[in-house]
Chains A and B, each alone.
Chain A
Amino acid sequence: MIAGLYIDGQSALHRAAAGAKILAMVALGTGVFLIPDWPVVAFVLATVLLLYPASGFGPRIMWAQIKPILWLLMIFFAVQLWLNDWQAGMLVVTRIAAIVMFASLVTLTTKTSDLLASLERAMQPLRPIGVNPEKVSLAISMVLRFIPVISTVASEIRDAQRARGLDRSIVAMVVPLIIRTLKMADDVADAIDARSFD
C-alpha cells in the first residue's frame, strides 16, 4: 500500500474533523481572493505559517511544501513587477502561498483513510442521481492494488522489449502494457461478478 502524505501528531489540527478542515480550506481559498490588500493577505499567510509549529511541524516540512512552486512564485512576482508594481506582486505571491500552505497543512494533518471516509459520507446524498458509494470505494481499492501490479507488468515488458532492441520505443512499451492489463481487468471483473458484487 502506498504511504499517504499524512504525518502523525496529536495537535488540535490533527484531531479536528476532516470535513471541518476542508471547509476551512475552501473558506480561506475564497477569502484571500476577496481581499485586495497585500498586507492583510500577508497577515493571513503569517497566521497559516504559525499553524505549522503549532501542529508540530518544523521548518524543513514547511520548506518542502513551498519549494515545488517557489520558481513559479518568483516568475509571477517578476511579471507583476513588470506590468504593475511590487504591491501587486506581493498580493499575488502571498495569496498563492497562503492557499498552498494551508491546503498542504490539511493534507499533512489528515489521514487518507479519514478523508476517504468523509468522501463516502459526502457521496450518500448523491445516490438518487446514480452515484453508488460502494462502487466508488471498490474502484478506489482497486486502483491501489493495480498500481504495483502495473509497475511489475511494465518492468517485465521493458525486459522483453530490451531483448528485441525495442526498449527505447515508448509505443512498444505502452501498447502491450495496456493490452495485458486490460486482459487482467477482464479477469478481475469476472472474479468480482462471480462473487455477486452489486
Chain B
Amino acid sequence: MKTKDIVYVALFAALTAVLGLFPPITLPVTGVPVTAQSLGPMLAGAILGARRGGLSIVLFLVLVAVGLPLLSGGRGGFGVMIGVTGGFMFGWAISAFVIGLLIEKFWNRLNVFNAALSIAFGGIVVLYAIGNAWVAVVAEISYWQATVGAAPFLIGDAIKVAIATAACLAVRRAYPLISKAG
C-alpha cells in the first residue's frame, strides 16, 4: 500500500467517526432513530473501492474496540462490539468491501442505477444478512424474526443509499480515486 492509500484509509475511518457526531434523527410514526454514521461504510466503499474502503472501516472498528467513544451516541469499547448489534459492526466492514467491489466493476459505466444498486446491495442486503444472523443467534430467535425486527430501519437506510449514490457520482466526477478497467 502506498502512503496515499494509507492516508485515504485513515481519512474515511475519521469521516465515519465524525458522521457519528451528528445527532440521530427520529423518524416519524415508527420512532426509529436514524444515525448518519452508517453512511460511513457506504461512502468508504463507493469512493475508495473494495480494499481501501473495507480497511478504513476495519480501522474505525479497531479504534472503537480499543475504547474510543466513536460510535454515535458516544459509545465504544468491547461491550458494543460483541454485544447484540455486533454483527452490524463487523457487517459494516464487509459491506464497505462489497460496495467497493461492485463500484469498481461498474466504474467505467457508472450511472445512478448501477451505483444505487451496488450501494443498496452492499449496504442493506449484505449488512442485514450478517447483522440479523448475529441478532438471531444472540437472542435465540429465528432468522426471519430478526429480519422482521430490523425492517423499520430500512427507511433510514434507503435515504442513506440515495445520499451515498449522489455523493459517489459527484466525487467520481470531481476527484476519481478508483481507476479499474471493467
Chain A residues with a Cβ under 8 A of chain B: 2-6, 22, 25, 29, 65, 68-69, 72, 75-76, 79-80, 83, 88, 91-92, 95-96, 99-101, 103-104, 106-108, 110-112, 115-116, 119, 135-136, 138-140, 142-144, 146-147, 149-151, 154, 170-171, 174-175, 177-179, 181-186, 188-189, 192-193, 197-198
Distance (Å) between the CB of A21 and the closest chain B CB?
9
> Which of A5, A144, A174 contacts B67 (CB under 8 A)?
A5
Residues of A near B47 (CB, < 8 A) are 178
Most A CB contacts (10 A, CB to CB) among B21, B62, B67, B167 go to: B67
The residues in B between 1 and 45 inclusive whose CB is less than 8 angstroms from any CB of A are: 1-4, 6-11, 13-15, 17-18, 21, 36, 39, 43
Complex contact A192–B69 (CB within 8 A): no
Complex contact B82–A29 (CB within 8 A): yes
Most A CB contacts (10 A, CB to CB) among B13, B43, B65, B83 go to: B83
B141 within 8 A of A: yes
Distance (Å) between the CB of A63 and the closest chain B CB?
13
A115: nearest chain-B partner, CB-CB:
B66
> Which of B4, B7, B60 contacts A142 (CB under 8 A)?
B7
User: Contacting chain A: which of B72-80, B94-102, B125-133?
Assistant: B72-80
Give the distance in Å from the alpha carbon of A42 to the alpha carbon of B33 in the complex. Answer: 31
Give the distance in Å from the alpha carbon of A192 to the alpha carbon of B8 in the complex. Answer: 13
Q: Interface 1/0s, chain B 128-163, versus A by CB < 8 A?
A: 000000000011110001000100000000000001
Complex contact B15–A104 (CB within 8 A): no
Complex contact A179–B175 (CB within 8 A): yes
Complex contact B177–A182 (CB within 8 A): yes
The residues in B between 44 and 69 inclusive whose CB is less than 8 angstroms from any CB of A are: 47, 59-60, 62-63, 65-69
Complex contact A189–B7 (CB within 8 A): yes
B112 within 8 A of A: no
Distance (Å) between the CB of A147 and the closest chain B CB?
5
Interface size band for B = 35 or more
> Which of A138, A146, A186 contacts B14 (CB under 8 A)?
A146
Chain B residues with a Cβ under 8 A of chain A: 1-4, 6-11, 13-15, 17-18, 21, 36, 39, 43, 47, 59-60, 62-63, 65-70, 73, 75-84, 138-141, 145, 149, 163, 166-167, 170-171, 174-175, 177
Knowing A4-B68, A182-B11, say if A103 contacts B78 (CB, 8 Å): yes
> Which of B15, B79, B166, B167 contacts A107 (CB under 8 A)?
B79
Complex contact B83–A197 (CB within 8 A): no
Distance (Å) between the CB of B62 and the closest chain A CB?
7
Give the distance in Å from the alpha carbon of A140 to the alpha carbon of B171 in the complex. Answer: 25
Complex contact A112–B75 (CB within 8 A): no
> Which of A91, A101, A116, A185 contacts B8 (CB under 8 A)?
A185
Complex contact A25–B78 (CB within 8 A): yes
Complex contact A170–B67 (CB within 8 A): no
Give the distance in Å from the alpha carbon of A171 to the alpha carbon of B166 in the complex. Answer: 7
> Which of A4, A96, A108, A175 contacts B83 (CB under 8 A)?
A96
Give the distance in Å from the alpha carbon of A144 to the alpha carbon of B70 in the complex. Answer: 10
Complex contact A198–B76 (CB within 8 A): no
Apart from the given pairs A100-B84, A104-B79, A142-B11, 6 other A-B contacts in the complex at a CB distance below 8 Å:
A4-B69, A99-B82, A115-B66, A175-B174, A178-B171, A185-B10
Complex contact A106–B78 (CB within 8 A): yes
Residues of B near A69 (CB, < 8 A) are 83-84
Complex contact A140–B141 (CB within 8 A): no
